[in-house]
Amino acid sequence: MTIEQAVAEVRSVVYQMAERYGALDADGVLALFVEEDPVDVGTGVDEVRFGSAEVRRQIVRDMSEVDGLSMGMENLRVTVFGDAAFAYSDVVFSTLAGGESFRYPARATIGLIRTSDGWRIAQIHTSFAYGEQAPGRSFPVQLTKTLSDLLTSIDSDSGSSTIRAAKLGTATIVFTDVVDSTKLSQSMGDQKWSELITAHFNTVREIVEDEGGSVVKTLGDGGMFVFPSGASALLAAARTQRAVTTSADDGLRVRVGVHTGDVVQGHNDYIGLTVNKAARVAAAARGDQILVSSTTADIVNSSEIDFGDPITVELKGIEGTHTLRPLNWAQRSTGD
């Protein structure tokens, strides 16, 4: 095979990937990757997916977070070295989100190897460069399965009798979610994983109640908690992250989201837009991160609480953009 033929075949694979993304064909996209240990690298420091299952999960998530998706490859450049090749391309993702059309310029670097079935993608790295076409915009944040299951469970528990007996009030809601729990549980085994999660939530419960809050519900590896004040919620969230990181040898990493607002309180649960937004704030957080809505951040006045630079996100299912503040939980001590 000549270099020219190899370059043409690699270009064909890259264009096929773009076409299958546009057709929302997740299995078709994955078929263009090597069967064993493909790698998908994102923009964030913790966005590295190893293996077919993780790569497919990310592909499906990308496709599900928008109403429509097309992927255009521009200025595609290909270099071949024997049985290895690298492709570099400017990419434009066109999407429909919330009834609006957006364009997201990006840069893709794709590593391919020649197999018995032809050229296959071994690694892809996509970096977004939000500029004039989409200033400050990102794909709407999608709920994780754990957080979605929690909300579904809360909604199903809140029957008509609960609603009739409910009362309205203001509260601060906290959601927690263990990152990469499926991979971690598989590596540990069911018994050890169950023991770890039980111990984790026992610790969280102690912290929450010590800070004046209550456990609303835990399900799987996620939890929902309620506090009478924003400050107490943030102090509990910070203590929770510190407790998790002091046991870092078990590999547990947690994302946390906090939001304050009016809630409907029934016999057992809290429901309403505030609860839904708090869950979506948690979904926007990375592992080891606490994200706080601007509503909560604005009402907190405590020398023990410090925030990082604000970020702007879109939360799927909630109109508009939302400002979130990361809590600098590792830089402060609460004296616990």
- Using alpha carbons, select from 208, 215, 231, 223 the residue that is nearest to residue 268: 215
Q: Are 270 and 226 in contact (CB under 8 A)?
A: yes
Q: How far apart are CA 92 and CA 215, in angstroms?
A: 44
Q: What is the pLDDT of residue 137?
A: 43
In this prediction, residues 230-251 reach a mean pLDDT of: 88
- Using alpha carbons, select from 190, 3, 174 the residue that is nearest to residue 84: 3
Per DSSP, the three-state class of 202 is helix
Q: Which structural domains are found in the chain, ordered by start?
A: 3-128 (3.10.450.50), 145-331 (3.30.70.1230)
Q: How far apart are CA 271 and CA 254, in angstroms?
A: 23
Mean pLDDT for all residues in the chain: 82
Q: How far apart are CA 227 and CA 238, in angstroms?
A: 14
pLDDT one-digit tens code per residue, 321-331: 899 999 999 85
Per DSSP, the three-state class of 91 is strand
Q: What is the pLDDT of residue 183?
A: 77
Q: What is the pLDDT of residue 130?
A: 43
pLDDT one-digit tens code per residue, 122-174: 999 987 654 433 444 445 677 888 898 888 888 666 544 443 444 568 899 99
* Beta-carbon contacts of residue 266 (< 8 Å; ≥ 6 apart): 158, 162, 163, 165, 166
Q: What is the pLDDT of residue 106?
A: 78
pLDDT one-digit tens code per residue, 197-238: 999 999 999 999 999 999 999 999 999 999 999 999 999 999
Q: Are 65 and 140 in contact (CB under 8 A)?
A: yes
User: Which helix or strand (DSSP H or E) is residue 175 part of?
Assistant: strand 167-178
**What pTM did the predictor assign?**
0.61
Tokens found for residue 55: 């790569």
